[in-house]
Structures are given as structure tokens and as C-alpha cells.
Structure 1
Amino acid sequence: MASLSIVDGLAQLSFLVLGRLERRAAEHDLSIVQTRLLGVLRDRRPTMLELAKLLGLDKSSVSGLVDRAERRGLVTRIPSAADRRSVLVGLTEQGRTLAAEVAARFEADVTEILALLPDADRKSLSSLVSGLLVAHARANGVDLFDTLVPSHE
């Protein structure tokens, strides 16, 4: 079986996955970055600065992104109990519903793609991808798990 280089393979895989995500986002008149915002906020209530780090954007871009999502009724700004100068960003019920719907349909799309692999390969791929993403985040000063919203909220 012919094999792609790791760079070419990852690039083509990212195009395939991003294409599926773009389709799901467009169904709800969302851009990719708006969809990423909803995805990040599904299990977190970060500060604007944390949100900028998680999205890999500058703080001014995140402010505009949150403003637009807030006008659509998808997110809300919550005063921080820990620091009066900071606000947390969280999903509204409408935002949570939309995020869950987009995520479920996108998950079905990706699951369909992954079904082409044997189970053992899917498990290996999951482990490799998780390890790479956690290491990359850590190298960039982001802990992917430090702003998780407790389950009782």
C-alpha cells in the first residue's frame, strides 16, 4: 500500500475534517471560528485572555467574536468572582443547544470517516492525536483541562 508523507497526510486529513466542520457550521450560519468558540465553551467558562489562548487569537479579535456571539444570544459575559477586572465567557442555553447539535452532527461525520479504519487503529490514532494536542497546548502555555466547568454548574 502506498503511503503519504506525514505532512501531506495530516494536511489532507485536516482538509477532509475541516470540510465536514465547515458544512455543519454553515447549516447554522456560523463561521469556523464561531464554531470553535462554541466548542471551547461547551465545557469551560474561561476569561477573555484564556479564551484568546485557547483559540490562538489576539484578545481584540476575541472581543469582537464574543460581541457577535453575544448579540446572537449564544454566549454571555459573567463577572469573575475571583477578579473583578475579568469577565468569564459562557454559553447561554441557546448557545449550548446549538453547540451540542453541531457537535453531534460533526461527530457523526468524523465517526463515518474513522469507521474506515480497524478498531485498533482508531484507538491508536485517538491516543496519538490526544497526546500531540495536549503537548502542543502545554508548550504554548495552555492547559486544555484547567478551566473545565464543574459538573454541578
Structure 2
Amino acid sequence: MTPRADSLTAEIVDLIGTVVTRYYEEYEHAAAEHSLTGAQARLLSLLSVEPLPMRKIAERLKCEPSNITGIVDRLESRGLVERRPDPADRRIKLAAPTAEGARTAEALRMSLHFAREPLGELTSAERTLLKQLLQRMLGITPE
């Protein structure tokens, strides 16, 4: 079933677009504060959750694996990322943050005030509802 195009839906789509644009602008600024590109910062943040092979990083960041290799190379040369063998299959190399890389990823996360501060104005119940609605929109099964 195709949702109706109504003025409320259009307004919500515009608001979501504004939030996304502001988030990326702030993310780019935060990355620059650490002398990183936005792509380097996103990759570092992704790896701070778990070490990943290049193919998985490319899938998650929606780009070509050859681009990921270059980004990992640059982060590795700065001491923020390292390559290590996958314990499950030693033929596969995982990219993982170094201790400095993990600290940088955390500093990036903490500097995203636009993403955090407005949410702080919402009650816990409102934040929970927003999370559930976003998960539903994305087809994510709630935890």
C-alpha cells in the first residue's frame, strides 16, 4: 500500500531532511576539529562499535571497497586504526580502532551537540516513543 501524499507527510519529510542536513553539517565540523574528513570520522565511529572487514565497512557506509582501503590506509598512518587477522578466519583482515582511535571516536560522538541537546529537552517517554517510531520506519525490530 502506497502512503497518501498529504501536507503533514510532506512537512515531516522536510523536517527529517532538515535534521539530517544539520546533523551532517555538525558531523563534518566535528571531524574537521580532529583533522579528519567526514568519511574518515564515520569509518572510525563505525569501527568503535566493532572491528570489521573492509567488505562489511563498504556495505555499511554504502561505498566501494577500494574507497574504504584508502580511508583505512590514511587512518592507519595516523595511528587511529590498525589491521588485524580475523580470529574466525585468519585470511581475512579486520580494521579496528587503536586506543587513540577509540578516544577520537568518543570525542567525536561527544561533540555532536545538535544531535544530543534537542533530545535532552524531551522526556524519557517522548525519547522512547521517538526511538520506537524511527525503528518502525526503518523496519528495525525493537530491542
TM-score bracket for the superposition, by shorter chain length: 0.7 to 0.9
Q: Identify the range of structure 1 (78-87 vs 57-66) with the bigger mean alpha-carbon deviation.
A: 78-87
Pick one of 94, 115, 121 that aligns with 2:120. 115
| Number of residue pairs the alignment of both structures matches | 134
Alpha-carbon separation, structure 2, partners of 1:49 and 1:25? 23
Q: TM-score, normalised by structure 1?
A: 0.76
Mapping for residues 4-153 of structure 1, pairs under 5 Å: 5-106=11-112, 108-133=113-138, 135=140
Alpha-carbon separation, structure 1, partners of 2:87 and 2:35? 34
**Identity percentage of aligned residues:** 34
- Flag the 1:97–1:65 CA change in 2: closer, same or farther, 3 A: same
Whichever structure has more helix as a proportion of its residues is 2
Equivalent AA in structure 1 for residue 120 of structure 2:
A
Q: TM-score, normalised by structure 2?
A: 0.81
- Flag the 1:28–1:6 CA change in 2: closer, same or farther, 3 A: same
What's the RMSD between the two structures over aligned residues? 2.3
Alpha-carbon separation, structure 2, partners of 1:14 and 1:66? 25
Unaligned runs of 5+ in 2: 1-6
Unaligned runs of 5+ in 1: 139-153
- Flag the 1:59–1:25 CA change in 2: closer, same or farther, 3 A: same
Higher Rg of the two aligned structures: 2
Q: Which runs of 4+ in 1 moved over 6 A?
A: none
Alpha-carbon separation, structure 2, partners of 1:98 and 1:10? 28
Report Cα offsets for 1:104-139 as digits up to 9, x if no partner. Answer: 121x4322122344543322212222444464xx9x
